[in-house]
Amino acid sequence: MEQVSFAWTALPSLKLRGLGTPLAEPIDYYVLRMSWVTGWSVNQLATLMQDDREEGFGPLRPSCHIFGHRREAQISAFEQLSGNPDLRYGTLWVLKEVLNTKGLYRQTGVPRRWCPVCYQKWDNDTDWEPLVWSIPYVSCCPTHGCDLVNACPSCGKEQSRDTALGLRLRCESCDAPLGGEGTKTERAKFYDWVDQEILKLVAFCSTPGEQLVPADTLLQFAEEFENHARSKGILQKVRRCLGMQRGEAFNRSISLSALINFSALLGVSVIDLLSRPKEAMSAPLLDLWDGFHWLCDPFAEKNDAVRAARWLAKKVLARRGRWYIPSMRVLTKDIGVSASRLKAFDPESYGAYIDAYLKQCRPATRYTRGVAFAAARNEIEDQNPTNCTHSRMWWLPHHVEKVAPVNLEDAYYASYGAIVYWRLLAHAKSHAQGAVAAKEDIRWTESAQTGIAA
């Protein structure tokens, strides 16, 4: 996409705000401003920007982080119509050769997010919604430090990204104001680092004249990275956490979360990784440093069942001792979430559980203990989990030995494993269904390191 200078323009020559800063204006908000100035709807402007060769396609809504031929053609057309050759810098265009859009938006689109304090003091003539609000891994307002929100505080309804500027400060459903005092959620320090890295990345991508990051950037450090990870014995863990299959090369475009995880593992900034990959590879591989958390699905709600599944998997691993642990299929079915969803949400926890399950005993023994575990579950499922202790249910292995039928050793490991699992499952379900679900992510992330959360 070449930059061109224009002498005359069909649309007002509005400037993109905040270029070269962490608070750069995204192109979709710029189009809303253009709509505000011209009186044309966003759909009309999108139709105006449409390539003649795309006749038959509906108008493409402007977006700051979805790439492709149609999107680039749209931006080029808008640059020409507005006389502004820098509109591409209101997107993540600079990263299009190395970054894919996985994790940047959900299937139903990108929800609008905002800072309540910003909205409370808003002036349409001077303020704009920065691009970082559209990146779901950023959790706090860079200006005020409060949580970014995506729903009306009065009725809970999500707000459209395309709402006209004059109507954006009030709820589309109940007309309540969307501004307010704001709240600050406790979170792990790692997420503060993530916010800062993304702010630097946005400033980098929004700098006029910045060229595309070459597609071979990942190739430049891939081999050395693999060597580092292999020498520490964590190559497969790294692959799993980056969403890569065994044997897959580190040379394809990656998600933003994977890019940040790469940087965290190496202890370098995302910008250094992109602009000086070979130098970045001279840093030691830090493995999982204290306070590190793999970035997960940013669209999972606080009471999403996948969080309960992740919590349960971590707890079972932390408390398993010598006892049998059930398969991932059993665990996810009990919580009511698919195994693939948990894998996508937290590949590290998923992979660690799979490894522990497969390594706990030989395949034939694992099968036998699985049968015994099911028999034990069937016996205790009507019991109050609080009363299910090893001392109170000392008789369970002998009962399972008779009804399964299995030998006493397998019945012993499976029965006591079932008791531990049954108690943890009850707590996991209470997290997903009760008031504890409202507790913040830091509890879900870190509670497996200690006892059962209250």
The answer to whether the beta carbons of residues 122 and 134 sit under 8 Å apart is: no
Give the per-residue pLDDT at 136: 86
Q: What percent of the chain has pLDDT over 70?
A: 78
What pTM does this model have?
A: 0.71
The answer to whether the beta carbons of residues 30 and 87 sit under 8 Å apart is: yes
Coil/strand/helix, residue 212: coil
**Predicted confidence (pLDDT) per residue in 62-113, tens digit:** 777 767 788 888 888 889 899 899 999 999 999 988 888 776 766 556 679 9
Two tokens, residue 241:
């956490």
Give the per-residue pLDDT at 382: 82
Q: Which residues pair with 158 in a beta bridge?
A: 151
The residue ranking higher by pLDDT, 117 or 244, is 117
The residue ranking higher by pLDDT, 7 or 122, is 122
**Predicted confidence (pLDDT) per residue in 336-367, tens digit:** 998 888 887 877 788 889 989 999 999 999 99
**Predicted confidence (pLDDT) per residue in 276-293, tens digit:** 877 766 655 555 444 555
Q: SS3 breakdown of the chain: % helix, strand, coil, rounded to 5?
A: 50, 5, 50
CA–CA distance, 239 with 81 (Å, rounded to integer): 45
Residues contacting 259, CB < 8 A, separation 6+: 98, 99, 270, 273, 274
The residue ranking higher by pLDDT, 371 or 268, is 371
- Measured from the Cβ of residue 299, the count of other Cβ atoms closer than 10 Å reads 16
Nearest Cα to Cα of residue 339 among 384, 366, 305: 305
Of 98-107, 242-251, 364-373, 417-426, the poorest mean pLDDT is in 242-251
Per-residue pLDDT, averaged over 249-260, amounts to 74
Nearest Cα to Cα of residue 15 among 3, 33, 41, 1: 33
Q: Give the position of tokens 């440093």.
A: 289
The residue ranking higher by pLDDT, 146 or 111, is 146
Give the per-residue pLDDT at 7: 55
Give the per-residue pLDDT at 370: 95
Q: What is the DSSP letter of 14?
A: P
Q: Residue 132: is its pLDDT beyond 80?
A: yes
The answer to whether the beta carbons of residues 284 and 421 sit under 8 Å apart is: no
**Predicted confidence (pLDDT) per residue in 428-454, tens digit:** 887 655 423 333 444 434 333 333 332
Give the per-residue pLDDT at 131: 95
Amino acid at 57: F
Per-residue pLDDT, averaged over 401-421, amounts to 93
Residues contacting 373, CB < 8 A, separation 6+: 324, 326, 414, 415, 417, 418, 421
Q: Residue 154: is its pLDDT beyond 90?
A: yes
**Predicted confidence (pLDDT) per residue in 180-236, tens digit:** 999 998 877 888 888 999 999 999 999 999 999 988 887 776 666 777 777 777 677
Give the per-residue pLDDT at 4: 53
Phi, psi of 191 (to 5 degrees): -75, -25
Q: Which residues pair with 140 in a beta bridge?
A: 147
The answer to whether the beta carbons of residues 296 and 445 sit under 8 Å apart is: no
Give the per-residue pLDDT at 263: 82
Nearest Cα to Cα of residue 296 among 452, 136, 132, 432: 136
Model confidence band, residue 260 (pLDDT cutoffs 50, 70, 90): confident
Give the start-to-end residue ranges of the domains of the chain. Answer: 1-184, 216-252+254-280, 305-449
